[in-house]
Amino acid sequence: MATATADMIDYPKIAKGALGAGVLTLVLASLVVGIETISAPTGITYDTRYTAVFAAAIGVAIVYFLAQLLKAGKPAIPLIAGAVLLALTLLMALAQTGEWEIARLVPFESPVVTWAIMLVPLSLVIRAGLVTWRSSPASVGKPAHERIHFADFYRRINTKFAILLIVVAVALPFMPFADRRLVDVATLVLTYIMLGWGLNIVVGLAGLLDLGYVAFYAVGAYSYAMLSVNYGVSFWFALPIAGTMAALFGVILGFPVLRLRGDYLAIVTLGFGEMIRVIIINWWWFTGGPNGINKVARPSFFGLEFDRSPPEGVQSFHTFFGLDYSPNQRVFFLYFVILAFALLTNLFTLRIRKLPIGRAWEALREDETACRALGINPRNTKLTAFAIGAMFAGMAGSFFAARQGFVSPESFVFIESAIILAIVVLGGLGSQIGIVLAAIALIGLPEFFRDLQDYRMLAFGIGMVLIMIWRPGGLLAHRDPTIYLHKTKAHSAAGAGAQP
């Protein structure tokens, strides 16, 4: 770490650090990147790709050097060198994408990787540009803390922003650019928003770290799928049953473990999540095993089906309203269903925060011992949070089953729990709108890069780490209790902002 002031830069130290970073890259990449194992019918052979390793090591060393200079307050060299690097990587990426003759000189195999690497000098140049601009005469005199903070800004426009989001969400399917794909992605994002809001009750409000939330999602999905396939129960009747089943599971699982604290609870919930998946896979005569359950009925609009030619005695949506048949009608309908569900979850959370039970959750999160002393029963209070969170997951799960038309254990792996938790934490614990933003960033954006399927999860992971480092408290960080005993000026401002 170079902590030297702007006047005295310890160049040898930075150079040593850069050399170290380069050597470290070389060591890390030496086997896993440098040598490619090739599975052949006769066994396993290998191939080398050391140009990429050396290029990466040199690149890391240079970028480290420039970044440290920038940190020390010398933006000139990083700006120029970063621009050169940017031009170089851009050229390489263009050459590879356009399959020019010189492309074989590029050390990286895939154009996607080269394009991604281009982002590094790009961000360096932007950072250096910002530093230069801030130290320019025009902006001298303005103290740094006067810059508008994202969270403060959000607090000011909070309610308006929420209404705007809802209006946009309602109007989305009717926009001229809205095609089926966009609405499909929006439906997926809304499903995760609903799950995020549900999990937020458990993690954000009650402060219970649940790493197996997807288990309740699975219970809801399978409840509806089995009711629908075995007994022909319609979606709207099955929905409360699925929610209740999931809540019941929440209570059953929660009862023995909720007296555990923090990370013990985390690992046990993780274990339960995996157990439910293993049971679904192996209890094949009941759950369909790894193949799952097919032909789950789609939801109807007050008894009107969305089929081109519905079964005898059932009216279809398009004939009832005198419209032409379009498969989009079902897609749009499902979108509005999940939008309504998600808003319901949100409304519930907003209201319950004002009830004694919601306040007990927040109090319990802040100090369990004090709660005990004040006569709050921690176990029952936690159990309620767990059960209600599970109920929303169950409802989202039955929607998922209805939308897909089939369920299989593959949809309920641990990574789903991790993604939902990531949405809650990245959004800023307890912040309802933060969850919307995080879900759009983590679920919506990658959906439009489906072509880069292989790199999607890698980018997802990098995004998670970078957002956490950039904003450790989440995008919209605040964790203030909803109410205060003594409202000071600062608190009342924050408290009012914290409500939606």
Enumerate binding residues for other proteins (CB under 8 A): 24, 27-28, 30-33, 35-37, 39, 43-46, 203, 209, 256-257, 259-264, 266-268, 270-272, 274-275, 278-279, 281-282, 367, 369-370, 414-415, 418, 421-422, 425-426, 429, 454-455, 457-458, 460-465, 468-469, 472-473
Pairwise CA distance, residues 307 & 317, whole Å: 8
Judged by CB, which is closer to other proteins: 113, or 186?
A: 113
Pairwise CA distance, residues 178 & 41, whole Å: 48
In three-state secondary structure terms, 494 is helix
Judged by CB, which is closer to other proteins: 93, or 421?
A: 421
Q: How far is the CB of 116 from other proteins (least distance, A)?
A: 11
Range 1-10 contact pairs with CB under 8 angstroms and sequence separation of 24 or more: 2/68, 2/71, 2/72, 4/72, 5/72, 5/73, 6/72, 6/73, 6/74, 9/69, 9/72, 9/74
Nearest CA among 154, 178, 176 for reference residue 165: 154
Q: How far is the CB of 417 from other proteins (least distance, A)?
A: 10
Judged by CB, which is closer to other proteins: 355, or 458?
A: 458
Q: How far is the CB of 119 from other proteins (least distance, A)?
A: 15
Q: How far is the CB of 454 from other proteins (least distance, A)?
A: 6
Judged by CB, which is closer to other proteins: 19, or 275?
A: 275
Judged by CB, which is closer to other proteins: 30, or 97?
A: 30
Q: List the Cα angle 187/188/191 in 5-degree steps.
A: 90
CB neighbour burial string for 426-439, b if at least 16 within 10 angstroms, e if fewer: bbbbbbbbbbbbbb
Q: How far is the CB of 498 from other proteins (least distance, A)?
A: 16
Tokens of 463: 């995004």
Q: How far is the CB of 163 from other proteins (least distance, A)?
A: 29
Judged by CB, which is closer to other proteins: 318, or 478?
A: 478
Judged by CB, which is closer to other proteins: 2, or 260?
A: 260
DSSP letters for 117-172 = HHHHHHHHHHHHHHHHHHTSGGGTTS-GGGSPPHHHHHHHHHHHHHHHHHHHHHHG
Q: How far is the CB of 195 from other proteins (least distance, A)?
A: 16
**Helical H runs in 353-447?**
356-366, 368-373, 378-404, 414-427, 432-439, 445-447
Q: How far is the CB of 32 from other proteins (least distance, A)?
A: 6
CB neighbour burial string for 44-65, b if at least 16 within 10 angstroms, e if fewer: eeeeeeeebbeebbebbbbbbb
Q: How far is the CB of 311 from other proteins (least distance, A)?
A: 39
Judged by CB, which is closer to other proteins: 83, or 281?
A: 281
Pairwise CA distance, residues 488 & 476, whole Å: 22
**Single-letter code of the amino acid located at 90:** L
**Single-letter code of the amino acid located at 234:** S
Judged by CB, which is closer to other proteins: 88, or 415?
A: 415
Q: How far is the CB of 337 from other proteins (least distance, A)?
A: 30
Q: How far is the CB of 115 from other proteins (least distance, A)?
A: 15
CB neighbour class for 457 (10 Å; exposed up to 12, middle 13-18, buried from 19): exposed
Instruction: Report DSSP state, residue 303.
Output: T
Q: Between the CA of residue 215 and those of 351, 435, 486, what are the distances in Å?
A: 26, 20, 41
In three-state secondary structure terms, 407 is strand
Nearest CA among 194, 170, 189 for reference residue 396: 194
Judged by CB, which is closer to other proteins: 1, or 490?
A: 1
User: How many CB atoms neighbour CB 419 within 10 A?
Assistant: 20
Q: Between the CA of residue 50 and those of 25, 31, 39, 113, 455, what are the distances in Å?
A: 12, 10, 19, 16, 21
Q: How far is the CB of 308 from other proteins (least distance, A)?
A: 40
Judged by CB, which is closer to other proteins: 129, or 271?
A: 271
Judged by CB, which is closer to other proteins: 138, or 485?
A: 485
User: How many CB atoms neighbour CB 449 within 10 A?
Assistant: 12
Tokens of 137: 């005469």
